[in-house]
């Protein structure tokens, strides 16, 4: 493995996290057996690395659900059977036992981190129906089970669940017509506002494509691209439906809700 070349591909990443991943890759090359990352990695790295092969090494991701952002990474020899992987994680559900005060994502995340658990040791958190769902390292789950009894003044109960019990993210579907699939046109559809406003957001660095800030208004968007707009939400450019009678392109966009 060319360590320097690999690190240069992810210059926006935290140096410590990137060095740890490089160590894991080199260990896998040495022992020719799967190695699991010690941390959950951010989406801009996961998006790239899931499509990479380094010599005889491949990568498999494990996160909260199919639409998650943070993932643990399995580094494995290319011919190793994926079905034999065992990620050292636990899925959990935290139930708010109070009927008087609902808890938000920030309350769950803040309390967990206040217990001394670093953000990179857990994946995404999803809050639904007064419960919080998440995934952490196995040893972190043991610690949480022993120490997490309340959030704010709300009593809570934490339990281990299976990956199948994790709720999938919900979407709002948006259908509209555009003159082209340039970024500025697609952002305009996503925010339901003028192209001028979309240009303002792009030029100010508030728009990311596949988790990388994109300031090029002319960039063509592909089906499956994830567009994140600061303070506006996260979207998927789902598909192109074809042209209407006026020659405009009908597109489908999904907004995470």
Last residue of a domain, one of 84, 104, 129: 84
- pLDDT score, position 163: 95
Q: Are 112 and 79 in the same domain?
A: no
Instruction: List the CATH number of the domain containing 96.
Output: 3.30.70.330
Q: With beta carbons less than 8 A apart as the criterion, state whether 40 and 123 touch.
A: yes
Q: With beta carbons less than 8 A apart as the criterion, state whether 126 and 134 touch.
A: yes
Last residue of a domain, one of 53, 84, 115: 84
- pLDDT score, position 12: 79
Last residue of a domain, one of 84, 117, 143: 84
User: Which residues in the chain show pLDDT less than 50?
Assistant: none
* Number of other residues whose CB lies within 10 A of the CB of residue 27: 12
Q: Are 205 and 242 in the same domain?
A: yes
- pLDDT score, position 74: 97
DSSP 2-35: -HHHHHHTTTTS-HHHHHHHHHHHHHHHHHTS-E
Distances (CA, A) of 205 to 32, 130, 237: 42, 34, 19
Instruction: List the CATH number of the domain containing 196.
Output: 3.10.290.10
pTM for the predicted model, two decimal places: 0.81
- pLDDT score, position 256: 87
Please tell me the chain's helix, strand, coil percentages from 3-state DSSP, rounded to the nearest 5: 30, 35, 35
Q: Summarize pLDDT for 186-224 with one digit per residue, the tens.
A: 999 999 999 999 999 999 999 999 888 999 999 999 998
| Distance of alpha carbon 113 from alpha carbon 109, whole angstroms | 6
Of 158, 1, 12, 160, nearest to 95 by C-alpha is 158
- pLDDT score, position 128: 92
Q: Are 176 and 252 in the same domain?
A: yes
Range of the domain at 190: 171-256
């Amino acid at each position: 493995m060319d360590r320097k070349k690999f690190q240069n591909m992810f210059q926006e990443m935290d140096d410590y996290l990137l060095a740890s991943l490089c160590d894991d890759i080199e260990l896998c090359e040495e022992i020719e057996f799967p190695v699991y990352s010690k941390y959950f990695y951010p989406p801009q790295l996961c998006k790239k690395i899931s499509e990479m092969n380094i010599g005889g090494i491949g990568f498999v991701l494990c996160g909260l659900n199919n639409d998650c952002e943070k993932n643990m990474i399995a580094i494995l020899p290319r011919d190793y059977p994926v079905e034999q992987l065992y990620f050292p994680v636990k899925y959990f559900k935290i139930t708010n036992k109070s009927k008087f005060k609902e808890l938000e994502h920030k309350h769950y995340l803040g309390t967990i981190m206040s217990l001394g658990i670093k953000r990179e040791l857990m994946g995404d958190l999803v809050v639904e129906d007064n419960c919080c769902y998440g995934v952490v390292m196995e040893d972190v789950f043991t610690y949480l089970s022993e120490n997490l009894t309340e959030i704010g003044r709300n009593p809570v109960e934490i339990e281990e669940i299976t990956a199948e019990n994790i709720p999938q993210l919900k979407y709002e579907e948006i259908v509209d017509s555009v003159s082209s699939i340039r970024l500025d046109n697609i952002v305009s559809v996503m925010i339901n506002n003028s192209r001028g406003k979309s240009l303002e957001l792009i030029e100010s660095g508030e728009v990311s494509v596949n988790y990388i800030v994109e300031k090029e208004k002319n960039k063509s968007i592909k089906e499956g691209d994830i567009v994140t707009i600061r303070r506006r939400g996260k979207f998927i450019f789902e598909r192109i439906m074809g042209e209407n009678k006026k020659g405009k392109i009908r597109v489908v966009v999904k907004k995470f809700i």
